[in-house]
Amino acid sequence: MIAQLIGRMEALEAQSCIIDVNGVGYLVQASTRTLAALPNPPVLARVLVETVVREDAILLYGFADSAEREWFRLLTTVQGVGAKVALAILSALAPRDLIGAIAAGDRVALTRVPGVGPKLAIRLLTELREKAGAMPSGGAAGATLAPAGGVAADAISALGNLGYRRAEAQPAVERSAARLGEGVQLDALIRESLRELAK
């Protein structure tokens, strides 16, 4: 069972990456949140891994932090939620936002995720309501915002004023803040986040 990979980042794609560990390239599928937090090739990277063994394949799912991996494990216990849907949920909602959506019974936030219809959203809310409070709220997603501090919060607020939901604005700001680095100005972060949202 592979639980972690540390190696050279060889390629970053839309839904996966390739990590070279001592000459062996591992294909790791991940959420957009994790992929945005990883360094661009060819830099050394560390990814937490959940290994899924099926009759026809051994699949690796990567996570930037343990909170996202714990949520992946929990989400896949719900009937109708496979690895692909779990990654889609984690791409759309950070662990802390997922906790908030479940606590508030926000079915609309869940149905905006590709692959989650009204019935599955209700099942997620019903089955996870008792467990969500005990789940971790996240580390890496919040860590990417740390350099920007209050600027990131201001950018999310500004995007909210422009009509974007927090669930879509926050990941865009996190990715943009990670790209722009420390000392980013508010106007630059908003512009970059708008470009990210337009993709």
Q: Is residue 137 part of a domain?
A: no
- pLDDT given for residue 148 in this prediction: 37
The last residue of one of the domains, among 108, 132, 156, is: 132
In the predicted model, residues of the chain with pLDDT beneath 50 are 139-149
The last residue of one of the domains, among 132, 152, 174, is: 132
Q: Is residue 20 part of a domain?
A: yes
**Predicted model pTM:** 0.66
What is the number of domains present in the chain?
Answer: 3
- Eight-state DSSP code of residue 40: P
Do 50 and 72 contact (CB within 8 A), yes or no?
A: yes
The last residue of one of the domains, among 18, 43, 63, is: 63
- pLDDT given for residue 19 in this prediction: 95
- pLDDT given for residue 141 in this prediction: 35
- pLDDT given for residue 142 in this prediction: 34
- pLDDT given for residue 138 in this prediction: 60
- The residues near 81 (Cβ < 8 Å, ≥ 6 apart) are 75, 89, 120, 124
Full domain range(s) for residue 122? 66-132
